[in-house]
Amino acid sequence: MRRDRLTFGMIIGIPVVQLMLFGYAINGDPKHLPTAVLLADSSQYGRSMLSALKNSDYFHFVRKLHNEAEAETALARGEVQFIVTIPENFSRSLLRGDKPTILIEADATDPSATGNAIASLRTLLASALQHDLKGPLGFLAGSDGPINLRVHARYNPEGISQYNIVPGLMGVVLTMTMVMITGLAITRERERGTMENLLSMPTRPLEVLLGKIIPYIFVGYIQAGLILTAARFLFHVPMAGSIPLLLLVASVFIAANLAMGITFSTLAKNQLQAVQMTFFFFLPSLLLSGFMFPFRGMPDWAQVIGELLPLTHFLRIIRGILLKGNGFEEVILQLWQIVLFAVVVLTIGVKRYRKTLD
Amino acid sequence: MTDNVVIDVRGMTKRFGALTAVNGIDLQVRQGEVYGFLGPNGSGKTTFIRMLCGLLAADAGEGTCLDFDVIRESESIKRQVGYMTQRFSFYEDLSIIENLDFVARMYGVSNRRAAVHESIERLGLAGRQKQLAGELSGGWKQRLALAACLIHNPRLLLLDEPTAGVDPKARRDFWEQIHELAGQGLTFLISTHYMDEAERCDRLAYLSYGNLLTSGTAAEVIAGAQLTTWLASGPNLQVIARQLRTKPGVGQAVAFGARLHVSGTEALRLEQAIAPFRTEPYSWQQINPGLEDVFIHLMGNSKDNYQA
């Protein structure tokens, strides 16, 4: 153990990391969810509604929208979790006793991220106008409230968690297996002695590393195909977007994970260490990417770490394509971050790849 | 430097921490020569060979290998060198033909298919080309390794203990092949522990603890040691060997089967030392020392620089 510091580090590191992640980072009841407002009636009553939402802690107003199209884009890109629409003539309808409708659209791709917030809405809005509707207006409060509330759970109206989990699983499985496969690649050559032979041949580091990565992209595709097929026929996950686009993005994501693995491989002294490193990468990927727990429920520091991980972005992409029907424009916003990750990691790998046996 | 010198290096040095594995070795090897590299385990043979083909970065030294700078142009050297590792280092889960094809691809051999086919024919691997490398016996693995080293038509072959763990017949075949290839102009640097193989080399170098102790043809090496050797035969040689070793003038008393070789660098004192033992039932005669006597002598005189 004294001579294998990494193993020792793992023994201490794993519980510490787990404690940090489960103790501080993970939160099943996400609050302060980014919300945008489409305010077509800027009356006193509309503002009362919004401040009531704000006071609930669930909604955090981040921007004002001007039209429906903007709202659609913001939701598709995942920039906001909710859009609150206060319609034109809200005040007038309210005062007439016509029960105006407030529309709340939620990005429900991950039902667990929005569930509690939506559940709190009804009581919230019922009491929102109590302060305003007093005296002569008191009659408006009525027994069933002064307004109608309509909630649109977009992208996953029935709140089926499989729709969220099964596509996400594709990313998780690829992360786990791809990092592991190449993680062993260079260390195995070293342990079997074939590295000496490989190094005595006129090969460049990038050639060797890419040679290890490219064939496994096809292995990754087999897994991706398997999961997509199951998603389609066993779980009936909607596939709103373009599957070819998804497969194209998947190849980038697979390559990024393979690059991560190969870089571990150049850092590890033996296969066991490579496996340990893989585990160390997989754990935060699983917990901080938004796969198991809502991304927006995590504190800022955990979100920053999560943003670095390719799985986080891939989850947004695959959920976006399958459930939201996103196209290339939305995808590219996440994709470049995976590409950047792959390039950085592979550069480290090439630098660390020793051309000699020293 | 004459133009038929293939390896010409000076002061090659490699340190691993406190240990100097190779200590300022000079070496010249001419084209078409079979150059033997001898020395006990850990004497720096493998390290030196690895430095030549760029697998290890030398800490000091200069010179050329195949007219390329041995320090700076190792990529060019690699293209024209075949290196056979001490431990079998091909892919055990690939077949013979797949391994050869892989190596040919790595060197970018033109007309690859023909090259692979030819090397299989030449080494008599034809019947086994589909067999997995991991299933081969030691002798066949060695043939495969040699075939792979030759596939890109190198000018220099560096063979690191190529015959370790190979049976005598395979060893003999192997050496016949080496000499045939050397006759075609290929140069060999071969490390070995076997004396009979050392005698098959055109020239030799003897290393111990990273130092080059002697080099030259077998005759030169033997003459250079200035050793006098007496051969004793008779019963219970171990007993007199033990007594002889304590006498001044006796460098070594080594059993060669049923005979005893007693050697020393000072002929006169050696003769005085053995004089009391020249009685019945022992018979004594002075002989020319062999390579093995010389190497045992060299080994005995060198100090382990790790313990120093």
Within a domain: A185: yes
Predicted pLDDT of residue B25: 93
Predicted pLDDT of residue A141: 62
Report the C-alpha gap between B106 and B179 in whole angstroms.
27
- Residue B85 has φ and ψ, to the nearest 5°, of -75, 160
Within a domain: A218: yes
Report the C-alpha gap between B162 and B190 in whole angstroms.
8
Predicted pLDDT of residue B303: 58
Q: How close B57 gets to chain A, by Cα (Å)?
A: 7
- Select the residue of B55, B89, B107 nearest A202 (Cβ to Cβ): B107
Examine the domain organization and report whether A187 and A296 are in the same domain.
yes
Mean of the per-residue pLDDT values for chain B?
89
3-state secondary structure (DSSP) of residue B176: helix
* CB of A62 closer than 8 Å to CB of A34: yes
Is it the case that residue B282 has pLDDT exceeding 50? yes
Report the C-alpha gap between A329 and A46 in whole angstroms.
34
CB pair distance less than 8 Å for B56 and A356: yes
Examine the domain organization and report whether A332 and A184 are in the same domain.
yes
Within a domain: A62: yes
CB pair distance less than 8 Å for A197 and B90: yes
Domain hosting residue A81, numbered range: 33-154
Examine the domain organization and report whether A18 and A39 are in the same domain.
no
Predicted pLDDT of residue A142: 61
Predicted pLDDT of residue A3: 78
Within a domain: A125: yes
Residue A286, number of CB atoms within 10 A of its CB: 17
Chain A residues lying within 8 Å of B56, measured CB to CB: 356-358
Within a domain: A267: yes
Report the C-alpha gap between A183 and A282 in whole angstroms.
12
Partner B contacted by A354 (CB < 8 A): no
Examine the domain organization and report whether A178 and A137 are in the same domain.
no
Examine the domain organization and report whether A87 and A109 are in the same domain.
yes
Within a domain: A357: no
Examine the domain organization and report whether A292 and A217 are in the same domain.
yes
Q: Which domains does chain B have, with CATH numbers?
A: 5-221 (3.40.50.300), 228-288 (3.30.70.100)
In chain B, pLDDT over 90 holds for what percent of residues?
57
Within a domain: A358: no
Mean of the per-residue pLDDT values for chain A?
89
pLDDT tens-digit map of A245-268: 999 999 999 999 999 999 999 998
3-state secondary structure string, chain A?
CCCCHHHHHHHHHHHHHHHHHHHHHCCCCCCCEEEEEEECCCCHHHHHHHHHHHHCCCEEEEEEECCHHHHHHHHHCCCCCEEEEECCCHHHHHHHCCCCEEEEEEECCCHHHHHHHHHHHHHHHHHHCCCCCCHHHHHHHCCCCCCEEEEEEECCCCCCHHHHHHHHHHHHHHHHHHHHHHHCHHHHHHHHCHHHHHHHCCCCHHHHHHHHHHHHHHHHHHHHHHHHHHHHHCCCCCCCCCHHHHHHHHHHHHHHHHHHHHHHHHHCCCHHHHHHHHHHHHHHHHHHCCCCCCHHHCCHHHHHHHHHCHHHHHHHHHHHHHHHCCCHHHHHHHHHHHHHHHHHHHHHHHHHCCCCCC
Predicted pLDDT of residue B1: 44
* CB of A255 closer than 8 Å to CB of A344: no
Predicted pLDDT of residue B307: 44
Report the C-alpha gap between A37 and A49 in whole angstroms.
11
Within a domain: A41: yes
Residue B87: which of A355, A196, A198 has the closest Cα?
A: A196
Residue A154, token pair as written in the block: 């977009």
Query: How long, in residues, is chain B?
Result: 308
Cβ neighbours of residue B33 closer than 8 Å, sequence gap 6 or more: B6, B182, B187, B188, B202, B203
Report the C-alpha gap between B224 and A72 in whole angstroms.
92
At B54, the pLDDT band (50, 70, 90 cuts) reads confident
Cβ neighbours of residue A39 closer than 8 Å, sequence gap 6 or more: A46, A50, A64, A86
HSE (side-chain half, CA atoms, 13 Å) at B40: 13
The CATH number that applies at residue A73 is 3.40.1710.10
Mutate to test the interface with B, among A190, A201, A208 (most CBs of B within 10 A): A201
CB pair distance less than 8 Å for A358 and B85: no
- Residue A14 has φ and ψ, to the nearest 5°, of -60, -50
* CB of A25 closer than 8 Å to CB of A288: yes
CB pair distance less than 8 Å for B78 and A200: yes
At B6, the pLDDT band (50, 70, 90 cuts) reads very high
For residue B18, the 8-state DSSP code is T
Examine the domain organization and report whether A196 and A335 are in the same domain.
yes
Partner B contacted by A203 (CB < 8 A): yes
Q: How close B122 gets to chain A, by Cα (Å)?
A: 22
Q: Which of A139, A154, A169 is the last residue of a domain?
A: A154
Query: What is the mean predicted confidence (pLDDT) over B173-199?
Result: 92
A163: left (phi over 0), alpha (psi -120 to 50) or beta: alpha
* CB of B136 closer than 8 Å to CB of B129: no
Query: What is the mean predicted confidence (pLDDT) over B216-233?
Result: 91
Number of domains into which chain A is organized? 2
Q: Which of A154, A177, A206 is the last residue of a domain?
A: A154
Q: Which of A130, A154, A178 is the last residue of a domain?
A: A154
Report the C-alpha gap between B117 and B289 in whole angstroms.
46
CB pair distance less than 8 Å for A197 and B78: no
HSE (side-chain half, CA atoms, 13 Å) at A285: 25
Examine the domain organization and report whether A277 and A301 are in the same domain.
yes
CB pair distance less than 8 Å for B55 and A200: yes
CA distances from B29 to A337, B156, B184, B205 (A): 55, 10, 16, 10
Which ipTM value was assigned to this complex? 0.82
Examine the domain organization and report whether A254 and A283 are in the same domain.
yes
Residues 2-61 of B with CB under 8 A from A: 50, 53-57
- Taking CB atoms and an 8 Å cut-off, how many pairs form between chains A and B? 48
CB pair distance less than 8 Å for A197 and B85: yes
Examine the domain organization and report whether A61 and A112 are in the same domain.
yes
Examine the domain organization and report whether A294 and A174 are in the same domain.
yes
Is it the case that residue B177 has pLDDT exceeding 70? yes
Residue A61: which of A31, A30, A34 has the closest Cα?
A: A34
Predicted pLDDT of residue B308: 37
- Parts of chain A with a pLDDT under 50: none
* CB of A46 closer than 8 Å to CB of A87: no
Examine the domain organization and report whether A232 and A270 are in the same domain.
yes
Report the C-alpha gap between B146 and B49 in whole angstroms.
16
Strand partners, B228: B264
Residue A53: which of A68, A72, A36, A75 has the closest Cα?
A: A36
Residue A79: which of A315, A298, A242, A316 has the closest Cα?
A: A316
Q: How close B144 gets to chain A, by Cα (Å)?
A: 13
Strand duo B19-30 + A59-65: pairing? unpaired
Is it the case that residue B121 has pLDDT exceeding 90? no
